[in-house]
A = this chain, B = another copy of it.
Amino acid sequence: MCERCNYAEMLEGHGVDPTPLRQAVLRSIGEESRPLAAVEIIAAVRDQMSINKVTLYRILDLLVDRGLVKRLSAGDRAFRYGMGETRHHPEHPHFVCSQCGVMECLEPDLLPAGIRKFQIKGKRIIKHVDVRFEGICESCLKARM
Binding site for B on A (CB under 8 A): 73-77, 95, 97-98, 106, 110, 112-115, 118, 121-138, 141
Contact = CB atoms under 8 A, between A and B. Distances in A.
Which of A127, A130, A136: most chain B CB closer than 10 A? Answer: A130
A64 to B, nearest CB: 12
Nearest to A98: B127
Given A75-B73, A138-B123, A141-B123, A118 B129 contact: no
A58 to B, nearest CB: 17
The oligomer's copy count stands at 2
Given A73-B75, A112-B114, A131-B131, A124 B137 contact: yes
Given A95-B121, A130-B131, 19 more contacts: A73-B74, A73-B75, A73-B76, A95-B124, A95-B126, A110-B118, A112-B113, A112-B115, A115-B131, A122-B138, A124-B141, A125-B136, A125-B141, A127-B134, A127-B135, A127-B136, A128-B133, A129-B131, A131-B132
A124 B110 contact: no
Contact of A134 (B129, B134, B141): B129
Contacts of A95: 121, 124, 126
